Amino acid sequence: MSRLIAIIAGVILLLVAAVVALPFIIPAETYKPRLVELVKAQTGRDLAIDGPISFSFFPQIALNVKDARFSNASWGKDPEMVAMKELRATLKIMPLFRGEVEVGSFVLVDPVIHLEVRRDGTPNWQFTPPASAESAAPADAGADSSSGDNGYSVKQVRLGDISISNGTASYSNAQTGAAFALSDVNVDVSLPSLDDQLAVDGSAVWQGDKVAINLTADRPRAFIEGGKSNVDLAVSAPKVNASYKGSMQTLGGVAFGGDVDLSVPSVRDLAGWVGSPLPAGDGFGPLSIKGHAEGTDSNQRFSKAQIAFDGMNATGDMSVNTAGRRPSIKGQLALDKIDVNTYLGSPSSGGGSGGEGSSGGSGSAAGSGWSDEPIDMSGLKAVDADLSLSAEKILARDLTIGASALRLTLNNGLLKANLSKLSLYDGAGSGNLTLNGASATPQMAASFAIKGVSANPLLTDLAKFSRLEGKSAINFDVTSAGRSQRAMVSALNGKGAMTFTNGKIKGINIAGLVRNVLGASATGWQTGGSQDTDFSELGGTFTIANGILSNNDLKMLSPLIRITGAGTVNMPAQTLKYRVQPKLAATLEGQGGSVDAKGIEVPIIVEGPWSSPRFRPDLESMLKDPQSTIDTINTLKKDGGKGLINSLLGKPSGDAAPAEGDAATTEETAPKQVKPEDVLKGLFGR
């Protein structure tokens, strides 16, 4: 027995010696062609080894290849699919007998990899073996299947020194147009076993920026068995920083669920960096997202998210789908503000000033005009969205809307906002806003109904007009289209109505103007509290055609005065052309009083720039019916309105003319012939 054992031991030693000596006995040039033939038979591609090649079989299988090249598909852009300066690999022998694969090392030095997809969808990593290999495939497959349960199976995988040094990789897809390249690829992988933690530490340069990736997975075996493993992933680059801590499943696609922290200095820069540049325009700047995320590689859902985007902060739930032509966002969010201005372009400093400047608050000339800077809404085509939002405020140009709730949909550049709750300058209401950034010319439509609004801050912010105070009820329905603010205003069309109550027109005393009607025309708004016109009600309806607002039913009710009028407001030119008919009324009734109260009518023409209009009496129309003017004065006197007339005329009560039948009235003092001009002069103290 001992002799038999000695013989067996001797045979084993001879075999080991043969394995060790084999690489030295057989020249490399002998098995290099065989290796090339084997690769050709299995892939249909050519393998070229320009450098030396060496094998060793003990104490581990080792392969060292230098200057190797693997050919590309015949239709590929590059001649080689893979080229490398050196490949070093070792595989331990003894674990193979236990059904385990233990790689001692696998090192690629200066590899260059080109991956391509043809227009018909064929990738260059899809190999086509020669016909002989294809015909042999069924037999091979049958052999594999027959070995089935009795065949060799891998029970364990262990990786030692796995690394890529100074690699380069490129990818292009003729179907989608996607293309990118990586350089300076350096990766180190540690995998003691499938049941121990996997660690990957790598970096690469993409589009000129270095990207660092760190990954740990607690249970790597789960990735090949369809299970889940806890994962900690961090990606760091100048244009994006992201971390994920949670579970991940890779079989049949990526699925995950965990906590995400994403920080992007500029979404616009990031989109261009990854090869999907956004249309030119403003917005899409800083973005950060924190919260719980779950989903797949193309569909992500965020709950209890904290989002900051373009200076706006939000909390809530949302989902993002990236499988379509554009990212699609859905969710319910509560925001501190919605700043529409971010996506409407930046008007010039004079744009939209609309009139009033800083000098005394009276305004600049109409020549300052509206902005001619292009309005670019193409940024609305960057994403699709369906969002239910609540916001503490909404900013649109100089307009500030208070706490509001809205449903916002965005589809291929068409934004629709339905404001079910709208707070506007102490008032409340609802409305709809549509912005169309899909067409070559930006378009806008708005429909709102609001009441209780403070007129002064609204008109100041909307048109830089601060001469009107009071509470207002507003409803309007307008549309427009244009490439600039000026073009938008010039193309404005629609209709609406406004009513102001318990307010004043600042800078003009209409009653005083009427009393001095035969004097020089007044120009511009006058300053001082005494130069205001109080009213209890002011309003009317209007239509807008190509930026020209027309009103035919203006009315104002106030004690001692009534006003009716009609005219136009040229919004593109920022000018007024109105004919108003103030009536010094014989009544102290204000709001709710009759417009037809008896009084003295003195029509006034208001025209010129709305920042500094001219006010002049329309005496010509008064003199067309002189008897009516005389009769009105006499009627007021007969009705015992001496105190009222004196008040209207700004005279003390002692200056009142004696009433008809008064003892002081004599034939000598009574005028024999009355001229309208004289009556007006006497009436207004001239």
CB 190 within 8 A of CB 168: no
CB 192 within 8 A of CB 158: yes
Look at 74-83, 195-204, 228-237, 603-612 and tell me which has the smallest mean pLDDT: 603-612
Per-residue confidence (pLDDT) for residue 139, from 0 to 100: 43
Rounded CA-CA distance 499/482 in Å is 29
Q: What global pTM score does this model have?
A: 0.59
Rounded CA-CA distance 167/235 in Å is 19
Rounded CA-CA distance 390/190 in Å is 48
Query: Residue 149: which residues within 8 A CB-CB, separation 6 or more?
Result: none
Q: Residue 680 corresponds to which tokens in the numbers above? A: 């007006």
Better-predicted residue by pLDDT, 131 or 25: 131
Better-predicted residue by pLDDT, 106 or 55: 106
AA letter at 270 = L
Highest mean pLDDT: which range of 372-381, 484-493, 640-649: 484-493
Per-residue confidence (pLDDT) for residue 44, from 0 to 100: 87
Mean pLDDT of the 243-261 span: 89
Q: Give 229-274 as a DSSP string.
A: EEEEEEEEETTEEEEEEEEEE-TTS-EEEEEEEEEES-HHHHHHHT
AA letter at 58 = F
Share of the chain above pLDDT 70, in %: 69
DSSP 527: P
Per-residue confidence (pLDDT) for residue 101, from 0 to 100: 67
Helix (H) or strand (E) holding 331: strand 328-335
Confidence of residue 659 (pLDDT cuts 50, 70, 90): very low
Q: List, for residues 541-553, the tens digit of each pLDDT value.
A: 999 999 999 999 9
Q: List, for residues 9-46, the tens digit of each pLDDT value.
A: 444 444 444 444 445 545 656 667 877 888 888 888 89
Mean pLDDT of the 86-98 span: 77
Residue 344 has pLDDT above 80, yes or no: no
Residue 353 has pLDDT above 70, yes or no: no
Rounded CA-CA distance 456/220 in Å is 67
Rounded CA-CA distance 86/645 in Å is 110
